Amino acid sequence: MSEKVWIAGGGVISGIGMDLQENLAAFKAMQPGMTAMEYLHSVHRNTFPVAEVKADNEQLADMARMPENTSRTALLSLIAAREAWKSTGLGDISQYRVGLVSANTVGGMDKTEDFFNTFLSNPQGGRLHQVIQHECGTVTELVADAMGIRHHISTISTACSSAANALMYGTRLIRNNIVDIVIAGGTDSLTRFTLNGFNTLMILDQQPCRPFDETRTGLNLGEGAGYVVLVSDALLAHIHPWARLSGFANANDAYHQTASSPDGTGNYLAMKGALDMAGLQPHHIDYINLHGTGTQNNDVSEGIAINRLFAPHFPAMSSTKSFTGHTLGASGGIEAVYASLALRDGIIYPNARFEHQMKELPFAPVTAFSTGNDLHHVMSNSFGFGGNCSSLVFSKE
């Protein structure tokens, strides 16, 4: 049984870049990805800014070397997962026992929506190949087939904590000797169903979002994919590890279908549980990648839990969703890549557009990008609908 699980590499595609290096360049240049909708066709196009991946499906299909009728969710997933694998330098994937644990919340819904537009106007005109990728697990299977992954394939869908939970499950697979390597993370594309659902909840901002700012009025949706490559101790000599996944926990505050509990019970339990597994105290954490959606409820809830656990000495913290938007099922994977890279390169990411201190909290997020920081332990938070709260702790060694 392998006790330690390492991050051997990572890959990201998001509204701020087509790969990890472009993402980092956007952070350095303070260039968030929120724009008017270009690729998603919605009546809200000029109302709600979104952080779209800056490519249409034809361009993404060419990058992924997949048919153009593949769902956008799967295309994003394959691009990021391939980048993650390539970054490890491990070579031919068929030489290893490899699993894929991938999260998403929309599956191939982008294609289903296109089908129903055509079908409703002409029942003979709908093309059924547009709906066969609808189910969330189909996205994972398409990516596994394209990459030649056979030893274990799982899909996780627990709303916005999905990809963080994928890393937890992947770690357990390695520790129990089911596989030696797991590509773990998540993917989601923008769909009209998602946009309209969040609009119904009245938590979308009509301006670029401002996480942890007193004037915040909601979130911006984003899309993308992010994956890390988890490896066992047995392969440590074959990689240059970015970090170690030293602790994790999932908790549920059982408060509301979509809202977090006002006192942040689930948030606190997830963070505390992750620290306990890692054998750390709160003061050991050097940076927190906040869940930080920019909604009134979420930021207060997370902030109260952080104050309860870390006061009076708070680590540096920021919400990278101020750049990427809220990528839903992908967010925990994208932010796990950012957190792992933060340890490798001493990076602290900026919280864009923060200007006004929240009256409920005694701390404020970091607003400038920096490198060369002496980081030893980093926490990444992902808190989802239904009170499903997950926290990951990454350590330098």
Please state the domain extents for the chain: 5-238, 246-395
Separation between Cα atoms, residue 33 and residue 324, nearest integer Å = 6
Give 100's strand partners: 153, 183
Nearest to 348, CA basis, from 286, 281, 393, 303: 286
> Does 240 participate in catalysis according to the annotation?
no
- pLDDT by residue, tens only, the chain of 397 residues: 458 999 999 999 999 999 999 999 999 999 999 999 999 999 999 999 999 999 999 999 999 999 988 999 999 999 999 999 999 999 999 999 999 999 999 999 998 888 777 777 777 766 666 687 889 999 999 999 999 999 999 999 998 999 999 999 999 999 999 999 999 999 999 999 999 999 999 999 999 999 999 999 999 999 999 999 999 999 999 999 999 999 999 998 876 666 677 788 999 999 999 999 999 999 999 999 999 999 999 999 999 999 999 999 999 999 999 999 999 999 999 999 999 999 999 999 999 999 999 999 999 999 999 999 999 999 999 998 767 899 999 999 8
Of the candidates 134, 291, 377, 389, the residue annotated as catalytic is 291
* DSSP three-state, residue 199: helix
Of the candidates 134, 136, 326, 389, the residue annotated as catalytic is 326
Of the candidates 160, 209, 377, 389, the residue annotated as catalytic is 160
Separation between Cα atoms, residue 309 and residue 252, nearest integer Å = 17
118 burial via Cβ count (<10 Å: 0-12, 13-18, 19+): middle
Q: What is the pLDDT of residue 256?
A: 67
Q: What is the pLDDT of residue 131?
A: 80
**Domain 5-238 sits in which CATH superfamily?**
Thiolase/Chalcone synthase (3.40.47.10)
Give 390's strand partners: 250, 382
Q: What is the pLDDT of residue 267?
A: 95
> Does 151 participate in catalysis according to the annotation?
no
Pairing relation of β-strands 287-289 and 377-383? parallel
Separation between Cα atoms, residue 270 and residue 248, nearest integer Å = 8
Pairing relation of β-strands 181-188 and 224-232? antiparallel
List all residues 6 or more positions away from 363 whose beta carbon is below 8 Å from its beta carbon. Answer: 303, 306, 307, 314, 317
> Does 356 participate in catalysis according to the annotation?
no
List all residues 6 or more positions away from 53 whose beta carbon is below 8 Å from its beta carbon. Answer: 13, 14, 15, 18, 39, 60, 76, 223, 224
CATH code, 246-395: 3.40.47.10
Separation between Cα atoms, residue 85 and residue 393, nearest integer Å = 22
Q: What is the pLDDT of residue 1?
A: 43
164, amino acid identity: A
